[in-house]
Structure 1
Amino acid sequence: MTWIASNLAFGVGLATLLYYIQRAIFRRRTTKLPGPPAQRWLFGISQQLFEADDMAVLHEEWVHKYGPVLNMPGFFGATRVLLCDPKAVAHFYAREATTYRRETYTKKLVELMFGKGLLSADGHDHKRQRKALIPAFSNQAIRTLTGVFYDSFYKLKTNWDTIIEGAGGEALIDVQSWMNKVALDTIGLAGFSHDFGTLQGQHSVVAETLDSFTRVNSKPPSYRSLIISLFVPVMPFLLKLPGNPRLRRLKKMNKATEEVAYDLLKRMRDVRVATSKEKFGPRSLLETLILAEDASEQIRLTQEEVSAQMKTFILAGYETASVSLTWALINLAMRKDIQDALRAELLEIHGDPTYEQLMTGLPLLDAVMKETLRLNPPIAGIPRIAFEDDVIPLSQPIKTADGKMLDSIFVAAGTLVQVSIRYMNRSTILWGEDARDFKPSRWLSETGIPDKAKEIHGFAHLLTFSDGPRTCLGRQFATVEFKAVLSRLVRNYEFSFPEGRDTKLERVFGVLARPRVAGQEGSRVPMLIKRVE
């Protein structure tokens, strides 16, 4: 047995070494770029990235020193190209579904979390699935869902008013846990006509499993994470080894969401049997998925793909909405002047804002949303493998590692390329010296957005929703939900921290990075809340 184990370990080590040597050979044809030196040959700068408090700050330090397109050392001398140049980033996103794709192991991880749906698909499959889903996210479809967003808020309000009244007019409430409930119940009703009922105190296995991700204590140990990162690209099956707590949570979540998905799909198919297709038009995401099962071959979805889309939108809709709303309340609690100004704008409207008012009639609400999305993108960066040789244009010439001045770089097939979303959204080089400040007023002036930031493609010159053919399909859903819920929260309540602007915040890592008040368990963000009369 010792002989077998020794040979197995040798084989694993050799396969891993050969993988990274191959990556290093691919990299030799790529333009030689300057970049930070490797701290250790085995790990490159991976440990430095794991331990960084804010990766955007670290990337900005490197951009100042090495330029906006640079080389980052990785495992066994392999490297990746980091893109922080707006023109280069736009080029990357335009080719993300074809030239630049996920590595095999990251694709398997996405499939493990979401199934074989839109997030894991590439090429023709991605185009086909996206085309099938587009009707569910049209402006007309989102307009009809606005009432669902408000209904979730009023269920929340019933709970909060009871808590606040019982506390004598002001209560300490963990806003993040309640935003979780709002987000899950909303995506259930708006997307699938299913009420998870968490705002009414009902137990949900899906909610319980999702919440369990946020009870993990911040980051995993650096060396353990590095070792996993080292071997998983070579042996993706390691993702499925027993004993991994995140894997157990993923399996539990998948089982719970699949049970909900198949139950909903069965009920909707039964409805379809008794209803003509003409009358069954796409009124929700679920109905669109049902119709896509019988669509033409160009856009037809398999049952496995239909289930995967449901899991994708349950998880993605829950995580992004709850995290973004929590950050918005944090920012407004820290800046009472902005909170009061937003409330004054909202008080000018009688009743719930209409869809049209949410879209164009509330400029400060729109500015608060954009500033929240700018400062706190749910995903910090996107790494992809070049599947073919490519030439990436630059917005300004750079000096390469061998002293040449170039206005484009050559990327060889097999090279790992990464866009730093968090850097592009928060860079002082692009956005000015106040780039890391919460400043909604920048969106209210024609000169508030610097010309360099305007070079960034994507929604509102932000990369929060990605860009190109893989840009977030649910962007309109997410922004209208954000505005609808936040407008009612600020109109009806005042938010503050017990320690005021001295409150310390940190990030914890569940499915996505989440905020929490330092010293709290899980991802708790307790705030003092009182009603606005």
Structure 2
Amino acid sequence: MDRILNINLPINTANVHGPLTLLVSGLGFLLCFLLAILPSAYSRIKYLPLPPGASLIWGHEKAVFVGQPGSAFREWISNFGLTFRIKAAFGAPDILVLGDPIGITYLLQKKVFDYHHSAVVRPRVARLLGKGLGWIEGEEEHRRMRRLARPALTSDNIKAMSLDITEAATRVTKDLVEFVQNAGQKAEVNILDWTGKATLNIVGRVAFLHDFKAGNSKEAQDILNARKKGVSAIAQYIGFLTLMLLRRFHFLNYFPIAAIQGQGLAKRTIHVGVAKDLIQRSQTLGNEGKYQDQKDLLTRLLLAASEERITVSELYEHISTFIIAGFESTTTTVGFSVWELARHPEKQRRLREELAAFGREPTYDDLQNHAPYLEAVLKETLRLYPGLPYIERVATKADIIPLHQPVQLADGRVSHQAVIEPGQTVIIPIIAVHRQDSVWGDGDTFRPERWLESLPPQEQLCSGWGKMLAFSDGPRSCVGTHLAIFNYKVIMSSLMNSFLFEDPNVTMRLKISSSLQAWVHRDPDDPGRNELPVILVPTDN
């Protein structure tokens, strides 16, 4: 614009640029102001409590994203109860925050198909995972796809594959032992790099009969690197700005914005690489009549495709969904467990003694039924670090959500229900619900022993696995829960058998990058990176 003005008009553009900027800024501010105040008059849930301090532009959402995940929600829950509303960014309609366990159970178990992914979340799921089981809406379609996957992920089938799972984890642990020994008596590693290799190796082996070569194959490295780049793009502050814009301007989902499209790197890498190879290889087995000999997930999907129950395009989407979802959550959960055990030597010692008491490599039955402290460590890790820090849904129908804790309405009345109209966005703040001091007494403390003691009253707890929401709840809960739990236990057992964990004394913060992620800053000027550094010392085993 300045160049055009200089060529064609004999005026000083500097004199124009200042007022023009002020004019545009003023108009932009006015637009944001109007967007912010107009929906308030028509808020469907204006009867609910509203925390103070909302930004004119960002509403309450900046506080949710910029602070430690869950901290803002916990403060609001302490002051306003378990059910309230917050202002959305850019004047989008108010958001209902549902932290009441009875209300959460009702929504997720009884009415989840009436509450769809929001226009912010659903495109993100498609980019991150693919248009697979987590993306599909509608009860009939979702149940149809879940029936395809469930037989490959039952506890009986996982038990039958337990030796393969153990071998896949052990291969990565052996590589890690060699790496640390070559570095000397001990070494600091980013444990996420190695837990990522282990979980990807297991998922490849048991779900797709594919060897990722202990996470060292080119395709495995491509997937892991793409995942890391995608996490970094969205965890930065610009990622927050972009996501908030999506709340109001959905069309931005399709713009070439790095913080948005970077989320799809891992999925695209899988589609053009390993998914194509898997399909071609398995089609050869099908032509040879060997489908019936296999019980893995890919074979079931290929059979469905051959019978035209799913399209080839859907097949690609399901492969990327199960690979990424299969390794992402377990990668971080094992990482957070190792991190916490490094910081709590007495708890690490107790777990080590429990596993050593087997006197051999633990079997499926050992890990699932005779390692109570290992399960307690898993539950405590998931309580503090749920893979999804919150769930966001939009009501497609009018509804009345029952509540255990009454809510005081704007007119002073007290109600045990929340009245919902179609189009209402609902957020379930999982990490805040998991960490409530009013429930646990010490919500931020890593204390696995709590799971071996008397638990709080059921009405204060959720009804998902482990009385939590780490795997969600109801008919849309994680279909791979049994596999994820056993994978975790196998990898933890293998690492505990091979290493002592020591604290590197660095500061770790949590960030939201669709899922919950660790972020470490080495010094004040360091922008930080997605890692969990731990010092490993080889044992004599």
Shared fold per TM-score greater than 0.5? yes
Deviations 1:213-236 (A, max 9, x none): 345594324xx734x345424543
1:194 aligns with 2:202: no
SS in 1 for 2:43: helix
* C-alpha separation in 2, matches of 1:498 and 1:364: 24
| Alpha-carbon distance, 1:414 to partner | 1.4
SS in 2 for 1:494: strand
Correspondence for 2:59: 44
Deviations 1:127-160 (A, max 9, x none): 2111111111111221123223322332223223
Contact 1:149 1:484 in 2 (8 A): yes
1:284 aligns with 2:296: yes
1:403 aligns with 2:417: no
* C-alpha separation in 2, matches of 1:306 and 1:433: 47
In the alignment, which of 90, 103, 116 is matched to residue 118 of structure 2?
A: 103
Deviations 1:459-498 (A, max 9, x none): 0100010011110111111000000110111122100023
In the alignment, which of 498, 501, 507 is matched to residue 504 of structure 1?
A: 507
1:493 aligns with 2:499: yes
SS in 2 for 1:54: coil
Higher mean C-alpha displacement, 382-391 vs 521-530: 521-530
| Alpha-carbon distance, 1:168 to partner | 3.4
Structure 2: any 5+ residue segments left out of the alignment? 3-24
Contact 1:27 1:412 in 2 (8 A): no
* C-alpha separation in 1, matches of 2:29 and 2:285: 55
1:436 aligns with 2:444: yes
Structure 1 segment 24-63 matched on structure 2, within 5 A: 27-28=43-44, 30=45, 32-55=47-70, 57-63=71-77
* C-alpha separation in 2, matches of 1:312 and 1:404: 46
Correspondence for 1:6: none
Correspondence for 1:515: 518
Residue 317 of structure 1 aligns with an amino acid whose one-letter code is G
Residue 180 of structure 1 aligns with an amino acid whose one-letter code is G
* C-alpha separation in 1, matches of 2:288 and 2:521: 55
Correspondence for 1:219: 236
| Alpha-carbon distance, 1:53 to partner | 1.9
1:85 aligns with 2:78: no
Correspondence for 1:141: 157
SS in 2 for 1:116: coil
Contact 2:165 2:202 in 1 (8 A): yes
Contact 1:184 1:196 in 2 (8 A): yes
SS in 2 for 1:27: coil
Higher mean C-alpha displacement, 432-441 vs 246-255: 246-255
Higher mean C-alpha displacement, 140-149 vs 399-408: 140-149
Contact 2:234 2:240 in 1 (8 A): no
* C-alpha separation in 2, matches of 1:19 and 1:194: 51
In the alignment, which of 349, 354, 361 is matched to residue 358 of structure 2?
A: 349
Contact 1:398 1:405 in 2 (8 A): yes
TM score, norm. by length of structure 1: 0.88
| Alpha-carbon distance, 1:31 to partner | 6.5
SS in 2 for 1:104: coil
SS in 2 for 1:435: coil
Structure 1 residues 44 and 140, CA, compared in 2 at 3 Å: closer, same or farther? same
* C-alpha separation in 2, matches of 1:390 and 1:21: 26
| Alpha-carbon distance, 1:125 to partner | 1.6
Higher mean C-alpha displacement, 380-389 vs 512-521: 512-521
TM score, norm. by length of structure 2: 0.87
* C-alpha separation in 2, matches of 1:121 and 1:19: 31
| Alpha-carbon distance, 1:200 to partner | 4.1
Correspondence for 1:178: 194
Higher mean C-alpha displacement, 354-363 vs 521-530: 521-530
Q: What RMSD, in angstroms, separates the aligned Cα atoms of the two structures?
A: 3.0
Contact 1:23 1:414 in 2 (8 A): no
Structure 1 residues 25 and 190, CA, compared in 2 at 3 Å: closer, same or farther? farther
Correspondence for 2:13: none
1:527 aligns with 2:523: no
* C-alpha separation in 2, matches of 1:486 and 1:358: 10
1:427 aligns with 2:436: yes
* C-alpha separation in 2, matches of 1:414 and 1:246: 24
Structure 1 residues 416 and 164, CA, compared in 2 at 3 Å: closer, same or farther? closer
Contact 1:132 1:289 in 2 (8 A): yes
Structure 1 segment 197-346 matched on structure 2, within 5 A: 197=213, 199-200=215-216, 202=218, 204-216=221-233, 218-221=235-238, 225-226=240-241, 228-248=242-262, 250-251=264-265, 253-275=267-289, 279-281=292-294, 283-294=295-306, 300-346=309-355
| Alpha-carbon distance, 1:355 to partner | 1.2
1:393 aligns with 2:402: yes
Structure 1 residues 26 and 186, CA, compared in 2 at 3 Å: closer, same or farther? farther
Sequence identity (%):
25
* C-alpha separation in 2, matches of 1:276 and 1:185: 23
Correspondence for 1:127: 143
SS in 1 for 2:438: helix
| Alpha-carbon distance, 1:183 to partner | 1.8
